[in-house]
Structure 1
């Protein structure tokens, strides 16, 4: 079982401290979001200078605000300064954000991601691109000497998973349980990659976890902290596939043995890496991190 850690902070210094702690705990990779805090790629470039020996991934950078040529330039720069330790997770975001906050159209999201990858992937691999797509156009090349980071897309549904297998290096999921990974996620992306003659893709599966002796209180906390994910259509569909009422049902909550069994179940379902996202009070967070450190 390959375990990674998920975390975030309000400041780059805070993120640096958490990633340094993760590295000291023996984790080989750490994933951080791009939401409304510090810019993830900029932060990774900074943190990588002081924290060696751990891969750092984005989960995920939204595609709509950044043209793929601009993202290719930034990602290659980050991979150059980090010594090739970037894992580039990208995603569509959600209609309320794309349309409500950014004033952009969320129509045809799969077509958008297809155009995006057809521009992004060649550029990351030191190739010129000339793509006039239905939604995006990209022509030119990037002059940043660096290895290409793996590109993982936030693919939950069947069409996005097929696209991830065909054009990208894998998927990074959230709010997706073991039943869905075994029945939909892993077979769909693996079959698409095989049909396209690509290497077996990564399936990065992130899940909230809390090692605790007060399961009821932790479930109530999970229901509050993760409530939004039960309302966004893409995550709601994943919860429905598992038969869960809400995110608290998906979170791994219990004693150390129960949580480790849950992590193993996600791995056995087909996740190549299980990304643990600890939550809870201070004591629970410390205990959860200690249990995770014991798995590295």
Structure 2
């Protein structure tokens, strides 16, 4: 299991400079990958193209870019441009987001998410592969080609939790990227579902990228209390709430990987045994706990 890091969103006029420092430190610390979310701050793809250019070798990924606000041809053009800036080290993670965001904030219809994603991929994937797209569906259409000068394809990971979306990720994308999904759920639901679907489709083993809050500490109670505050919103979003119920925890704090070095190492081993191919560490504490966590993760990434 590879160990990467989730980069925190940066604010202020020097946000991109700070993010570039974070990418550089992640590479210097030996992490094979670094990821950034697309929420309401800087645009994830543009930020990675700027911050990651000139930092060699490390894979840079989005976890994840919401699909509804961007036509798939527009996202393909943006992703291929970012991949060009990053010398082909980009992995594009995409997802549906949530009804409260897509309908209440953006004003799009969130009524047919699976159909939307299936049709979205019908335009996005050919364009990311350097081919023309010609598709007309029930929710969108695209008849277009791009001239962005990339070599090779841009890999795609699909945020998928339900069985139908996991099947789609197995059959059409390169795997899934998860958030707020614990080892029991990965072992009993995510990994077997996506692996079986990939095998049935004659495809190779899919990536299962799992991001979770993490803190190596001597005070796990305080760390869990902070996790409960920091990630509170995820306990109220239906898709994540379903994963927490499946995992048997009350909220996000119950999914945080927290404890001393031995306890955290054991949890990472559990995730690897469950079928996680890439663990992405969301460091959320400050001070000595944060530095202790980074020291542990640096060691784990080197194994």
TM-score for the superposition, normalised by structure 2? 0.96
Tell me the residue number matched to 1:279: 284
Find out whether 1:115 has 2:122 as its counterpart: no
Counterpart of 1:242?
Answer: 247
Indicate conservation of the 8 Å contact 2:23/2:52, yes or no: no
Among 99, 102, 105, the alignment partner of 2:106 is 102
2:299 aligns with 294
User: Which runs of 5 or more structure 2 residues have no equivalent in the other structure?
Assistant: none
Question: 1:115 aligns to what SS in structure 2?
Answer: helix
Q: CA deviation at 1:199?
A: 2.0
SS of equivalent to 1:245? coil
Alignment of 1:100-179 (within 5 A): 100-146=104-150, 147-179=152-184
Q: CA offset at residue 158 of structure 1?
A: 0.8
Give matches, 1:217-228, under 5 Å. 217-228=222-233
**1:253 maps to 2:266:** no
CA distance, structure 1, for counterparts of residue 197 and residue 141 of structure 2: 25
Match of residue 31, structure 2, among 27, 34, 38: 27
Q: Deviations over 1:151-186 (max 9, x none)?
A: 001101111101101111110000111111111111
Q: What residue number does 1:79 align with? A: 83
Task: Give TM-score scaled by structure 1 length.
Answer: 0.98
Q: List, as ranges, runs of 4+ consecutive aligned residues in structure 1 with deviation greater than 3 Å.
A: none
Contact kept? 2:58, 2:89, Cα under 8 Å: yes
Which residue of structure 2 aligns with residue 198 of structure 1? 203
Aligned 8 A contact 2:66 2:97 in 1:
yes
Match of residue 3 from structure 2: 3
Q: What do you get for the CA RMSD once the two structures are aligned?
A: 0.9
Task: Measure, in 2, the Cα distance between the counterparts of 1:274 and 1:180.
Answer: 15
Cα distance between partner residues in 2 of 1:15 and 1:76:
21
Unaligned runs of 5+ in 1: none
Deviations 1:72-129 (A, max 9, x none): 1111111112111001000011000001110111111011000011111111111111
- CA deviation profile, 1:113-151 (whole Å, cap 9, x unmatched): 000111111111111111111101011211112121210
Checking the alignment, whether the CA contact within 8 Å between 1:41 and 1:78 is kept in structure 2 is yes
Distance in 2 separating the partners of 1:164 and 1:55: 20
The offset of 1:260, in angstroms, is 1.4
Match of 2:72 in 1: 68
CA distance in 2, matches of 1:195, 1:136: 28
CA distance in 1, matches of 2:55, 2:131: 31
Q: How many aligned residue pairs are there?
A: 296
1:39, 1:235 → 2: CA distance?
A: 23
1:203-249, Cα deviation, whole Å (9 max, x unpaired)? 10111100111111111101111111110000000000011011101
Distance in 2 separating the partners of 1:51 and 1:125: 24
